[in-house]
Structure 1
Amino acid sequence: MNIRKYRILIVASHPAQYSAPIFRVMAKHPQLEPQVAYCSLQGFEPSLDSEFGVEVAWDIPLLNGYPWIQVQNNSPKPKLGSFFGLINLELWKLIRKGNFDAVIVYAGYSYASFWIAAAAAKAHGQKFVFSTDASSIQSRNGKQWKAWLKRFLLPPIFRLADFVIVSSTLGKQVVRSLGIPEKQIAMTPSSVDNDWWSYQATQVDVKAVRRQWDIPENGLVVLFCAKLQPWKRPTDILQAFAKANVPNSYLVFAGEGPLRPQLEAEAKSLEMQDQVRFLGFVNQSQLPSVYRCANLFVLPSEHEPFGLVVNEAMLCGCPVAVSDHVGASYDLVQHGETGLVYSCGDVDALAGILRVFLPDSERLNKMSAAAAQRMKTWSPYENVEVIVQALEKSIASPAMILSSLS
């Protein structure tokens, strides 16, 4: 029996540590012939990350293991995060000549290049697919007029797609709420390179790392690993840590951002400065060490579409506690089983979690083992299989229902 092979063009805004593993799995899949077109090389080339507030170039391979090209950016002011920052006019020619079965866009509709790719795919009879990690139409700054505008504008944008790739249960709910039929939605696991994280965690010298942190081997470490930005609510974990007042405990902040001076000052005012460590920005190759040396990872965010740091922590054997605004709390974290969930902003509840669970290594170890089992079916492999199934049904017969992907 002949297996149909699909030629797909993947339009990505820039190389990212989370998308590269998926592209590598695509390149090895017997039914896919992918070509990745990058609109920018930011992330591979050093550049200022406005949210970290430092220059970032990821220190792991981002461009190997799959075919890729860079498409010329015609923007007079090239940058990520701006509609006119990506104007890749050559996408039209690439799509016109490529004769692809489908064009999959991993660059958001807030870029001009999204619209170039969409128009080219539609004009030349190629399936148009785009991926969204949105888990809410609310903006990070809470401005209601933006949510109203999105509810008005997003449905016609989403209807452009032959099918929409979402990365979480919350994402699927959002897209359905915009009136998009379930048959046009494919839910792919929001994933990281499971094999890499699991292996790297086994290579960590916990004693040596803790010596670098000036934390004793038997110390109880709470970890916050994210940008120090208001929507991540790092102040919540600092206040909860102080309230819990667990003996022999330490709080480690791995990440950089504008809230760092405020957090350092508050740690001092709470007389916790001897128990709090600020590591600054930690690049990808060193993150397994950070997770492996912690007893509990906490993500208190109020706006977190998924929170791939949760995947990373679980794969490194670190138990997790997350707010109920974190997308992963719906797909990966079953309270009391694979992790802990609390109401966002409830510092007392978070302090209670720290007080009860941080000293209880037996319960934490059980959650860590259950989390490892959960991650066995939440990886780039499952991600790519869902995409292949969606392509098969969409291309073989556009009218066929994709409900089996839900």
Structure 2
Amino acid sequence: MNRLAIVTSHPIQYYAPVFQRLAQKNPDIKVFYTWGEESIKKYDPDFKKAIEWDIPLLEGYSYEFLENTAPRPGTSHFRGIVNPSAVKAIHQFNPDAILVYGWSWQSHLQIIRHFSGKIPIWFRGDSTCMDTLPWHKNLVRLILLHWIYRHVHIAFYVGTENKKYYRRFGLKHEQLRFAPHAIDNSRYGIDYSAQANDLRRRLQIPPGGILLLFAGKFEAKKDPVILLKAFERLQKTNVYLLFVGNGE
């Protein structure tokens, strides 16, 4: 396997280090961003401001922003990503395989369908079957996803429930590869123990105290309140809960 095309919506802080590491091992990869160049400074309606990450998202690998002609660009709906030039751009790169992140946008599904049977389609997502749906919606999902995953040669699963999801919708065991969510170990492997101890002192957390940390957006779908309720029921004097984030 020499040339790998990667199709994903926009630069993300936890994917960029993966692409950089892949490019170190195989320089002949190229990432195609489908949301468009404006996604670099994406307006977050919950934070009510444009978000710009403080780590390099576009360094160390080859990439191209595809023109997105969707009237209402975004990842929240199927027609939010429309790239008339996507197929041509990928053909020009002439990859030996395509790794697609997510199928639920018009352009991504078009790419999967167009290249199916021509070159291997690799797929990554983290969906599960843990949600409860009415029987008729389950039936529609069963038919739709069986059809979509017929086009996939290999799928990368992040955990047990994600693997069950792929098996339920038609992928065979030999088509699945374990690829858990990753972090940049070089960034998080730095010894911050001095800073951590200083912060614990300022928060009045004793050396033997157990600290539970919620770091993320305060919004209903992440449900930080359920963690707070569980903590209240715990009733342990040596356990502390810290929320770090912003939002609703």
- Normalising by the smaller structure, the TM-score range is 0.7 to 0.9
| 1:254 and 2:248 correspond | no
Q: Distance in 1 between matches of 2:67 and 2:194?
A: 41
**Letter of the 1:237 counterpart:** L
Alpha carbons of structure 1 residues 251 and 45: separation in structure 2 relative to 1, 3 Å: same
Q: Distance in 1 between matches of 2:54 and 2:21?
A: 20
User: 1:59-113 CA distances to partner (integer Å, 9 max, x unpaired)?
Assistant: 211111111111111112211212111101111111222221111111x221011
Alpha carbons of structure 1 residues 100 and 155: separation in structure 2 relative to 1, 3 Å: same
Partners of 1:11 and 1:36 within 8 A in 2: yes
2:179 match? 188
Aligned with 1:109 (options 103, 115, 118): 103
| 1:95 and 2:83 correspond | no
Please give the secondary structure, in 1, of the residue aligned with 2:174.
Answer: helix
2:33 match? 38
Q: Distance in 2 between matches of 1:67 and 1:175?
A: 30
Q: Distance in 2 between matches of 1:248 and 1:122?
A: 56
Partners of 1:137 and 1:151 within 8 A in 2: no
Aligned with 1:229 (options 212, 215, 219): 219
Please give the secondary structure, in 1, of the residue aligned with 2:23.
Answer: helix
5+ residue gaps, structure 2, are none
Q: Distance in 2 between matches of 1:28 and 1:176?
A: 32
Shift of 1:7: 0.5
2:67 match? 72
Partners of 1:10 and 1:35 within 8 A in 2: yes
Partners of 1:38 and 1:70 within 8 A in 2: yes
Aligned with 1:128 (options 121, 131, 135): 121
Q: Distance in 2 between matches of 1:113 and 1:179?
A: 23
Aligned with 1:26 (options 19, 22, 28): 22
1:242 match? 232
Partners of 2:10 and 2:36 within 8 A in 1: yes
Alpha carbons of structure 1 residues 179 and 121: separation in structure 2 relative to 1, 3 Å: closer
Partners of 1:91 and 1:117 within 8 A in 2: yes
Alpha carbons of structure 1 residues 95 and 115: separation in structure 2 relative to 1, 3 Å: same
Alpha carbons of structure 1 residues 51 and 202: separation in structure 2 relative to 1, 3 Å: same
**Letter of the 1:113 counterpart:** S
Shift of 1:251: 2.5
User: 1:350-389 CA distances to partner (integer Å, 9 max, x unpaired)?
Assistant: xxxxxxxxxxxxxxxxxxxxxxxxxxxxxxxxxxxxxxxx
Please give the secondary structure, in 2, of the residue aligned with 1:28.
Answer: helix
5+ residue gaps, structure 1, are 259-406
Identity %: 29
Matched ranges for 1:130-169 at <5 A: 130-136=123-129, 138=131, 142-144=132-134, 145-169=136-160
Q: Distance in 2 between matches of 1:22 and 1:116?
A: 25
**Letter of the 1:209 counterpart:** L
Please give the secondary structure, in 2, of the residue aligned with 1:191.
Answer: coil
Partners of 1:224 and 1:234 within 8 A in 2: yes
Q: Distance in 1 between matches of 2:37 and 2:197?
A: 35
Alpha carbons of structure 1 residues 243 and 132: separation in structure 2 relative to 1, 3 Å: closer
Matched ranges for 1:381-400 at <5 A: none
Aligned with 1:9 (options 5, 10, 28): 5
Shift of 1:252: 1.4
User: 1:271-290 CA distances to partner (integer Å, 9 max, x unpaired)?
Assistant: xxxxxxxxxxxxxxxxxxxx
Q: Distance in 2 between matches of 1:45 and 1:87?
A: 17
**Letter of the 1:27 counterpart:** A
Partners of 1:53 and 1:256 within 8 A in 2: no
Partners of 2:218 and 2:224 within 8 A in 1: yes
**Letter of the 2:148 counterpart:** I
1:371 match? none
Matched ranges for 1:300-315 at <5 A: none
User: Normalising by structure 1, what TM-score?
Assistant: 0.55
1:202 match? 192
Shift of 1:42: 7.2
Shift of 1:15: 0.6
Shift of 1:143: 4.1
User: Normalising by structure 2, what TM-score?
Assistant: 0.86
**Letter of the 2:233 counterpart:** K
Shift of 1:29: 1.2
Q: Distance in 2 between matches of 1:43 and 1:222?
A: 36
Q: Distance in 2 between matches of 1:133 and 1:127?
A: 20
Alpha carbons of structure 1 residues 237 and 173: separation in structure 2 relative to 1, 3 Å: same
Q: Distance in 2 between matches of 1:118 and 1:187?
A: 21
Q: Distance in 2 between matches of 1:244 and 1:99?
A: 56
Q: Distance in 1 between matches of 2:172 and 2:12?
A: 30
Number of equivalent positions: 245
Aligned-CA RMSD value: 2.6
